[in-house]
Amino acid sequence: VKVDEAGRAVAWQATAANFLQDVNPKPAVVLQALQGALYDSDPFVRLYAANAIGPSDVTASIATAILRHPDPRARWLATLALVEFAPNRIDTVSALSEALRDEDRRTRAGAATALGRIGSHAASAVPRLKLAAEDSDPTVQQAAREAIAQIRTL
């Protein structure tokens, strides 16, 4: 993240990576820049670059790692990204199941929603989703109940 003259953070790299998502086909130089951005210190740059690159084991690993980032907004976005990057990986289901215990309610709700979107492949997460259905936050409760229903019907 760069800082402008007034001391405000300028997330130009994240914006650029987000914009490059719509560039298809991607020239080699663009892919190279996006691959480099996967290892940026800013979690949002990493997520947007991963999104622009598309589903792969690498992008799934990036999003899984961000689930442990201190920024709750980054963790929440990672829950949403994992469904797109690698919904059928067992470590995706495990990481999202663990995120159901996150201190941030949006991350917990996002993890539940993501598990529901994964469907029957996330059946191993049902016990944790049942616990999340009793969460103190009503949004998390609802997301967990819906996820359990989706997993059982998909």
Q: How confident is the model at residue 142, as a pLDDT?
A: 98
Cα angle, residue 19 at apex, residues 16 and 22 outer, rounded to 5°: 145
- Bigger pLDDT: 16 vs 99: 99
DSSP states of 113-138 as a string?
Answer: HHHHHHGGGGGGGHHHHHHHTT-SSH
Indicate the helix (H) or strand (E) that contains 10: strand 9-10
pTM (predicted TM-score):
0.82
Query: What's the length of the chain?
Result: 154
pLDDT at 22: 64
- Please choose, from the candidates 41, 58, 42, 59, the residue with its C-alpha nearest in 3D space to the C-alpha of residue 50: 59
Q: Is the peptide bond before 25 cis (omega within 30 degrees of 0)?
A: yes
What the block records as the tokens of 127 is 């016990």
Query: What stretch of H or E contains 89?
Result: none
Q: What is the pLDDT of residues 45-82, one digit of tens each?
A: 899 889 888 888 889 999 999 999 999 999 999 999 99
The model's confidence at residue 13, banded by pLDDT at 50, 70 and 90, is low
The pLDDT assigned to 28 comes to: 83
